[in-house]
Copies of this chain bind each other. A is one copy, B any other.
Amino acid sequence: MTDSHIVASFDENLNDLRKKIVQMGNLVEEQFKLATEALVEKDKTLAEQVRKNDKAIDQLELEIERFAVEVIALRAPVADDLREVISSIKISSALERMGDYAKNMAKRLTVLSKIDHLPGSTTILSQMVKITRTMITDVLDAYVKRDTNLAIEVWNRDQEVDALYDSLFRELLTYMMEKPQYITSATHLLFIAKNIERAGDQTTNIAEIVYYITEGELLELKRPKKDDTSFADLGVSKEENK
């Protein structure tokens, strides 16, 4: 199949690469949707499905890398074209990691459903996932359309995910202090939330790559440092440590 790609023109090669990236991104977005559904509904069968689906994402990363290497070897692209082909390897690598985060969410459900006690924090989690999913869809759109404004907008939107993560972090810590019997499940929820927060970060990485291949320079924006309030020590613990 790949051979027939190579016979095509370089523009067609680029188009095929872009299509594969979008296909991969859509799968990742779907995985977050399903993993969250599994979590909220405590649906173990669905969680198992999410774990299995991840293989297709891993496979696409391999395909994209191999195809990109073939295109470079046979076309010897330079300048912008080369930058774009290299970027497809980097974007697919970011998407692959995001896929792993979704799979990891699904894996933790196995424990959470066994414990059978969930602090009521899935609302914030669902909200985090909702925003992250729009970020994934929009960054793919920005990639296909070379829309740097949209890329910047996605990049900024990550602050909302970070803010929600910080709220949830504080909420879960307070929860654990009040109800030590939920420490295990709250800890797993913390890790799940951290995975979503990291997926948001990966999306901003893709937004930066889109900006770079479109504008030819690095995206240098200022914004509040990520993941800082999650280093919270919680007023309450200061009191308790007196």
Which A residues fall within an 8 A CB radius of B?
Answer: 65, 69, 72-73, 76-79, 82-83, 86, 89-90, 93, 104, 107-108, 110-111, 114-117, 173, 176-177, 180-181, 183-185, 187-188, 190-191, 194, 227-228, 231-234, 237-238, 240-241
A87, chain B: closest CB distance, angstroms: 10
Copies of this chain present in the complex amount to 2
How far in angstroms is the closest Cβ of chain B from A239? 9
Q: Are A237 and B183 in contact (CB under 8 A)?
A: yes
* The residue from B79, B173, B241 contacting A117, defined by CB atoms under 8 A apart: B241
Residue of B nearest to A169 (CB): B187
Which B residues touch A176, using CB under 8 A? Answer: 176, 180, 183, 187
* Interface-centre pick from A83, A185, A191 (highest chain B CB count, 10 A): A191
The reply to whether B72 and A82 contact each other, CB–CB distance below 8 Å, is yes
Given contacts A110-B231, A116-B241, contact A180 B181 (CB under 8 A): no
- Inter-chain contact B177/A241, CB cutoff 8 Å: no
Given contacts A115-B237, A183-B237, contact A188 B72 (CB under 8 A): no
